[in-house]
Amino acid sequence: MTALFQNFKRYESLVNVVHLSCCWSTLGRLAAASEQDWFNDNASAAGLAALAAKTAAMLTENPTSGDIRARELANIAHGAAKSGRAAALGDFWTVLANAVEPRLGECNAQELANTCWAFAKAGVAHEGVFNAAARVLCAGASLDSFPPQELCNVAWAFSSVGRVDDKRLFAALCRAAGRSVESFTTQGLTTTLSSFAKAGVTDLPLLRALATQVHRKLAQCNAHDLAAAVWACAKLGVGDAALFGAAAAAAERHSDRFTPAGLANVVWGLAKSGHCASTVSCQSDCSNRLTPLTIAVDSQLFARAFEQPIHRHLAAFNAQDLSSCAWSMAKATHVSPPLCEALSRAARDCLETFNTQDVMNFAWAFVKLGVADAELLTSCAAALASQRLDELSAPQIANVAWTFATAGQMDTALFSSLARAAQTAAVDFTADDLASVSWAFANANQLDERLFKALASRAATLIDEFDEEVLDNVEWAFHKAGHRALVKQLRQRRKGRAGTEPGGQQLALPGASKCGRIVIAGGGIGGAAAAVALQHRGFDVQVLETDSSFDARKQGYGLTVQCADALQALGIDLAQDDAPSTSHYTFSADGHILAFFGEAFGGGKVRDTGANDTGSGRFVHLPRQALRHRLLEKIAPNTVRWGTKLRSFEPTGNGGVSLTLTDGNTMEAALLVGCDGIFSTVRRQLALAGDALNYVGLVVVLGISDAVFPLCERRIFETVDGTTRIYVMPFTTTSTMWQLSFPATEEVARNLTKDVAVLKKDILRRCGDWHEPIPSLLRSTPLECMSGYPVYDRPVLEPETLRPLSRSDARVTLLGDAAHPMTPFKAQGANQALRDAVLLADTLAECVAQHGPQAGLVAALPVFERKMLRRSSRTVIASRDKAKQLHTRLALQPGRKGQRDAADLNVSEAIQTLQARGISASSATDPRGLDAVVAKCISGGVDEPAPEAQLEPCWGWAVRDDAEEAAWHKGTVLRIRKSGKMVVQWQDGSTAILAEDFVQPRAKKRKH
Ligand SMILES: Cc1cc2nc3c(=O)[nH]c(=O)nc-3n(C[C@H](O)[C@H](O)[C@H](O)COP(=O)(O)OP(=O)(O)OC[C@H]3O[C@@H](n4cnc5c(N)ncnc54)[C@H](O)[C@@H]3O)c2cc1C
């Protein structure tokens, strides 16, 4: 470097532009390779200034002269940018830009790319240079001849200087990159992908191809490449579970090598993709031994790989990095008080540099993690209140309202700016926007009159677009805000909707049968419901079902059905099958109440839960087979072909589909509807881009027990310990279903679920010391009433993925689990399948009426798929998120579920009171009943001791354990039912319901 500057000085008067260009190239090369900061040496700094001055003078004297070629200009720019001292060169860049701009058309690919790269690297977003470059690059097919490295440099340059709106240029770059996807170097690939992410490129096939290449080259990525790739794939929504799983493993290996921004990007990308729950982060010996599988997958990965590096980089993080780390931590459900404290301190020091999005994310993360950092949240509320909120989207407004209401931070200034923003935006709200904003404000008790007036007038125009769930939330919110007229209108709408489709009989479409036969593969919930709905509309339907008969195999678990609109449309009444519940509790493993809600506490009153009271109000609980039976009995005889399995299908020449069955037979269909569940044959054959089973990191064990326990009567409860969770609900009015789940690697899950005896031992080891009746419930469940399986879902489908252009008129579609399988933790799979079935029949009928039989079928399918996927995608994601939360310490936070019906109840305070008074799961044996005890306590009543008389020790005559005959056993009378039967608790904690004659006071033991 010293020699270079000395030579330049010696010959300065003689140098021409070629010499200068060589000097700059050499300087760039030497500076990039230099390990020391050469610029700190005075002689070098002076040398650089002299070189820049000479160059500027020469360019100024003769800016457009033919003897300064484009090549020399490109070299000068490149060398100057590589010198790393661009900022020290001042006006030099303007002079250079003026010289470069008119000569760009003469550059070859490398010179053009290098020039763009140099200006971007120097941070000089010279409009003239970039405009001219874009013109040249887009002219003809000039980019098509660019090698991958040059494409990468151009993409990087334009995205770095913020020219991401150059849509024409990025489209041309995509076209060119598509031709050379496999020729990119690892660094070129990751840089190009992240440039495309910054530019919001939407060319999905190209992006997926680039993501596949990233996956192949992952082993060669350094920390920088990895961070860029993970961030870009997550931002663009490309890449599958396998890619992110491998990236998570690589990130763990590189965790000490990330720059601060790289670390924030990689953590954000893994959290955003939701795939860091892959098996890589499960600590287990992957054997079938009964090792403790206390794994919270995401959280563990976060703790192992990222917590320490984040601590180390805290001081160097900018606002966005801090916000990304906090947000990712919440997404990974990683509760770490020291890290929260450190992040909070760092953020408070520079909150003024946070933009609106960063503050929102930061505050949301802390509330989501249940960290009550009042000082931080007060600062965040003030920061938000001082910013312009009128550009927030409806979901963002709802999120902010949720965040601060949940934290109890009802900052008046913030809520009133939020209300003004929502009020202005209300005219553009969609049905979903309206529901989330009105719900959030009502839930926060922020019933701003002007806001609700604006929301109400928007709601009146959207009334036909509300589905059942949205209608429910909107109705509740406006009821609370006192908008009686709108509530009445919404209720009429609900009735009207039900009224227009009473079983569908009279809605049969004349001529529907002319469409030809619709074949449904799968006679589960979705397939049976589709058959009912389609036959109501007059379509000719055949269902193929693998099972040899209705009850050919164990189909047993309980469902919660919440879609009254779909049931109504199907003409199904489930009242007689409902195993009702009127309260819902969350307990810790030792039985403390963590949350409670339900009709039993509506308005502070305990509902009569006596034997004559049927129905659980909004939801119906019943065995899956009972629902399936109700659907199948509505179908015309011989519609279902039992014992018939679809093997494959192919389009026929006349627009239909030819089906081949596993018995070798074939059949023709005008339309094939794949309702064949999560392992769908139809979906597999469609070979959808990016499709794969996604193991969510959990095992689910199911059981059904006939034993009677007071806590299980007409009640749903869940118990959590931060890792394992059990959910217990009425299966029928005389039996109880439980669902126990815990994290495990896929291999352990598969091994463990092969043998129910081993599984039972394992779960008893986990939960044997949990509060009663959990151990007794598990013990009382016969092995033949138990089953277990690893939990899977699939990536959320985009309508274009299900129906790509190449197959736009295919007469094949999917519904139910085949289209959108989800984890069972939000109890939505069957509800979505029922809604899909009604939607399919309605859309087909509408389109066939409009376009005629054949064109109508083709026109209906994309419309149906778009609506179905839009609705169900939300529940797939929410179910996956819930699966994560329920198996981490987040599940242990008290009062996470609000008591919606009792507006003035402070749930957190109520829970503290219950704990202070010792009211817990064991209070279920109180003769007055748990709900009554809880209701009395939270309404401020003094808890009186239970009436003595009914806790009388007794003898009960019953067959118990493995005995073959009945005998007298010691017990206690807990309660006498209205029917006169007695609820008796045995000494091991289990209970039975016995007729009066079979119970005797202990003093009067009777020999038999
Ligand atoms: C433990 C648990 C609890 C749940 N709880 C709830 C809940 O409370 N609420 C809720 O809404 N949802 C719940 N679900 C989800 C719900 O059960 C499913 O989403 C729903 O059953 C999906 O219906 P489906 O018809 O799409 O698929 P399935 O019910 O799986 O039916 C698919 C049918 O297709 C048949 N089949 C498969 N391949 C072929 C082939 N090639 N040819 C012919 N037939 C074929 C199968 O034999 C099967 O009968 C729960 C799920 C589980 C596992």
Where are the alpha helices (H) located in 573-720, listed in sequence order? 624-632, 681-686
833 C-beta closer than 6 A to ligand 1: yes
Render pLDDT for 578-614 as a digit per residue (tens, 0 to 9).
888 878 899 999 999 998 877 777 543 333 333 333 3
646 C-beta closer than 6 A to ligand 1: yes
The number of beta carbons lying within 10 Å of the beta carbon of residue 63 is: 16
What is the Cα–Cα distance from 594 to 587, expressed in whole angstroms? Answer: 5
At a CB cut-off of 8 Å and minimum separation 6, what does 621 contact? 558, 559, 560, 561, 578, 579, 580, 581, 716, 729, 730, 731
* pLDDT tops 70 at residue 237: yes
* pLDDT tops 90 at residue 300: no
CA-closest residue to ligand 1 atom 9: 827
Q: Residue 721 — pLDDT band, cuts 50, 70, 90?
A: very high
570 CA → ligand 1 middle, Å? 18
What is the Cα–Cα distance from 627 to 574, expressed in whole angstroms? Answer: 8
Upper half-sphere CA count for residue 958 (Cβ side, 13 Å)? 24
Burial class (CB in 10 A: 0-12, 13-18, 19+), 2: exposed
At a CB cut-off of 8 Å and minimum separation 6, what does 907 contact? 595, 895, 897, 898, 899
**C-alpha torsion sign, points 66, 69, 70, 74:** negative
**C-alpha torsion sign, points 406, 411, 414, 419:** positive
* pLDDT tops 70 at residue 284: no
Tokens of 939: 């309404």
What is the Cα–Cα distance from 309 to 290, expressed in whole angstroms? Answer: 33
407 CA → ligand 1 middle, Å? 38
CA-closest residue to ligand 1 atom 41: 646
524 CA → ligand 1 middle, Å? 6
CA-closest residue to ligand 1 atom 3: 824
The mean of the pLDDT values for the chain is 86
CA-closest residue to ligand 1 atom 30: 677
* pLDDT tops 50 at residue 546: yes
Given the structure tokens 């004297």, which residue do they identify?
Answer: 61
What is the Cα–Cα distance from 751 to 34, expressed in whole angstroms? Answer: 56
The number of beta carbons lying within 10 Å of the beta carbon of residue 514 is: 16
Which atom of ligand 1 is the closest one to the Cα of 562? 11
522 CA → ligand 1 middle, Å? 9
Q: What is the pLDDT of residue 560?
A: 86
971 C-beta closer than 6 A to ligand 1: no
CA-closest residue to ligand 1 atom 50: 824
What is the Cα–Cα distance from 202 to 776, expressed in whole angstroms? Answer: 55
* pLDDT tops 80 at residue 944: no
816 C-beta closer than 6 A to ligand 1: yes
Question: Shortest CA distance to 32 belongs to which of 1, 66, 63, 74?
Answer: 1
Instruction: Answer whether 924's CB lies under 8 Å from 983's CB.
Output: no
* pLDDT tops 60 at residue 629: yes
Q: What is the pLDDT of residue 62?
A: 67
Q: What is the number of residues in the chain?
A: 1008
Q: Residue 648 — pLDDT band, cuts 50, 70, 90?
A: very high
Q: What is the pLDDT of residue 926?
A: 86
Higher pLDDT, 201 or 1008: 201
Q: What is the pLDDT of residue 812?
A: 97
CA-closest residue to ligand 1 atom 15: 829
Q: Residue 296 — pLDDT band, cuts 50, 70, 90?
A: very low
CA-closest residue to ligand 1 atom 37: 676
Render pLDDT for 400-450 as a digit per residue (tens, 0 to 9).
988 998 888 888 899 999 999 999 999 988 888 898 899 889 888 889 999
What is the Cα–Cα distance from 406 to 896, expressed in whole angstroms? Answer: 9
Q: What is the pLDDT of residue 295?
A: 30
For residues 775-784, average pLDDT: 93
For residues 231-259, average pLDDT: 90
901 C-beta closer than 6 A to ligand 1: no
Render pLDDT for 918-930 as a digit per residue (tens, 0 to 9).
999 999 988 888 9
758 CA → ligand 1 middle, Å? 26
521 C-beta closer than 6 A to ligand 1: yes
Question: Shortest CA distance to 70 belongs to which of 128, 38, 111?
Answer: 111
CA-closest residue to ligand 1 atom 35: 522
661 CA → ligand 1 middle, Å? 21
Which atom of ligand 1 is the closest one to the Cα of 628? 29
624 CA → ligand 1 middle, Å? 9
* pLDDT tops 70 at residue 914: yes
> What whole-number percentage of the chain has pLDDT above 90?
55
CA-closest residue to ligand 1 atom 19: 829
Q: What is the pLDDT of residue 259?
A: 96
Question: Shortest CA distance to 234 belongs to which of 187, 192, 268?
Answer: 268
Q: Residue 155 — pLDDT band, cuts 50, 70, 90?
A: very high
824 C-beta closer than 6 A to ligand 1: yes
* pLDDT tops 60 at residue 133: yes
For residues 942-960, average pLDDT: 68
Higher pLDDT, 310 or 708: 310
Q: Residue 115 — pLDDT band, cuts 50, 70, 90?
A: very high
CA-closest residue to ligand 1 atom 49: 524
Render pLDDT for 74-96 as a digit per residue (tens, 0 to 9).
999 999 999 888 888 888 999 99
Q: What is the pLDDT of residue 896?
A: 54
Name the helix (H) or strand (E) containing 225.
Answer: helix 223-236
For residues 383-402, average pLDDT: 89
622 C-beta closer than 6 A to ligand 1: no
Where are the alpha helices (H) located in 537-658, listed in sequence order? 564-570, 624-632
Interhelix angle 204-216/241-253, rounded to 10 degrees, is 40
Which atom of ligand 1 is the closest one to the Cα of 547? 47
Q: What is the pLDDT of residue 761?
A: 95
The region of weakest confidence among 66-70, 206-210, 393-397 is 66-70
Secondary structure in 3-state letters for 574-596: CHHHCCCCCEEEEEECCCEEEEE
Q: What is the pLDDT of residue 149?
A: 95
Most confident of 155-169, 242-256, 920-934: 155-169
526 C-beta closer than 6 A to ligand 1: yes
For residues 682-696, average pLDDT: 91
What is the Cα–Cα distance from 623 to 621, expressed in whole angstroms? Answer: 7
The region of weakest confidence among 252-261, 282-291, 397-406, 829-838 is 282-291
Give how far Cα 245 sits from Cα of 53, 326, 470, Å: 53, 21, 35
* pLDDT tops 90 at residue 625: yes
858 CA → ligand 1 middle, Å? 27
Which atom of ligand 1 is the closest one to the Cα of 647? 41
For residues 905-923, average pLDDT: 85
Q: What is the pLDDT of residue 573?
A: 87
CA-closest residue to ligand 1 atom 52: 824
For residues 641-649, average pLDDT: 97
Which atom of ligand 1 is the closest one to the Cα of 644? 43
Q: Helix or strand or coil: residue 272?
A: helix
Q: What b/e string do you get for 927-955 counting C-beta neighbours within 10 Å, with b at 16 or more? A: bbbbbbbbbbbbeeeebeeeeeebbeebb
829 C-beta closer than 6 A to ligand 1: yes
What is the Cα–Cα distance from 653 to 776, expressed in whole angstroms? Answer: 62
For residues 698-716, average pLDDT: 91
Burial class (CB in 10 A: 0-12, 13-18, 19+), 327: buried
**C-alpha torsion sign, points 377, 383, 384, 385:** positive
Give how far Cα 344 sits from Cα of 347, 349, 357, 360, Å: 5, 9, 16, 14
Secondary structure in 3-state letters for 913-930: HHHHCCCEHHHHHCCCCH
Burial class (CB in 10 A: 0-12, 13-18, 19+), 14: exposed
Q: What is the pLDDT of residue 243?
A: 87
Which atom of ligand 1 is the closest one to the Cα of 828? 11
872 C-beta closer than 6 A to ligand 1: no
Q: What is the pLDDT of residue 116?
A: 96
523 C-beta closer than 6 A to ligand 1: yes
150 CA → ligand 1 middle, Å? 51
For residues 534-563, average pLDDT: 89
Q: Residue 241 — pLDDT band, cuts 50, 70, 90?
A: confident
Strand partners, 588: 720
556 C-beta closer than 6 A to ligand 1: no
CA-closest residue to ligand 1 atom 31: 524
What is the Cα–Cα distance from 413 to 398, expressed in whole angstroms? Answer: 16
> What whole-number percentage of the chain has pLDDT above 70?
90
Radius of gyration of the chain (CA): 34
For residues 208-223, average pLDDT: 95
Q: What is the pLDDT of residue 381?
A: 94
What secondary structure letter does DSSP report for 158? Answer: H
Q: DSSP of 428-497, one letter per residue?
A: G--HHHHHHHHHHHHHTT---HHHHHHHHHHHHHHGGG--HHHHHHHHHHHHHTT-HHHHHHHHHHHHHH
At a CB cut-off of 8 Å and minimum separation 6, what does 566 contact? 468, 529, 831, 834, 835, 837, 838
Tokens of 46: 């002076």
692 CA → ligand 1 middle, Å? 18
For residues 474-490, average pLDDT: 88
Order of strands, sheet of 999-1001, starting from the edge strand that comes earlier in the sequence: 991-994, 982-986, 967-976, 953-958, 999-1001
The number of beta carbons lying within 10 Å of the beta carbon of residue 342 is: 16
What is the Cα–Cα distance from 991 to 773, expressed in whole angstroms? Answer: 9
CA-closest residue to ligand 1 atom 38: 676
At a CB cut-off of 8 Å and minimum separation 6, what does 179 contact? 144
Do the strands 735-743 and 558-561 form a parallel or antiparallel pair, or are they unpaired?
unpaired
676 CA → ligand 1 middle, Å? 8
From 468, 547, 549, 559, the mutation candidate for ligand 1 (largest count of ligand atoms within 8 A of CB) is: 559
790 C-beta closer than 6 A to ligand 1: no
* pLDDT tops 50 at residue 559: yes
Q: What is the pLDDT of residue 274?
A: 65
875 C-beta closer than 6 A to ligand 1: no
Instruction: Answer whether 497's CB lies under 8 Å from 486's CB.
Output: no
Which atom of ligand 1 is the closest one to the Cα of 681? 41
677 C-beta closer than 6 A to ligand 1: yes
The region of weakest confidence among 168-172, 489-493, 657-661, 682-686 is 489-493
880 CA → ligand 1 middle, Å? 17
Q: Residue 279 — pLDDT band, cuts 50, 70, 90?
A: very low
617 CA → ligand 1 middle, Å? 25
At a CB cut-off of 8 Å and minimum separation 6, what does 987 contact? 969, 970, 971
Q: What is the pLDDT of residue 897?
A: 52
* pLDDT tops 50 at residue 328: yes
739 C-beta closer than 6 A to ligand 1: yes
783 CA → ligand 1 middle, Å? 22
581 CA → ligand 1 middle, Å? 24
Which atom of ligand 1 is the closest one to the Cα of 682? 41
* pLDDT tops 90 at residue 616: no
Higher pLDDT, 70 or 834: 834
The region of weakest confidence among 196-210, 484-498, 807-821 is 484-498
Q: Which long-range contacts (CB under 8 A, 24 or more apart) does 807-810 make?
A: 807/686, 808/862, 809/655, 809/858, 810/651, 810/861
790 CA → ligand 1 middle, Å? 15
Upper half-sphere CA count for residue 995 (Cβ side, 13 Å)? 1
Instruction: Answer whether 456's CB lies under 8 Å from 486's CB.
Output: yes
Q: DSSP of 839-880, one letter per residue?
A: HHHHHHHHHHHHH-HHHHHHHHHHHHHHHHHHHHHHHHHHHH
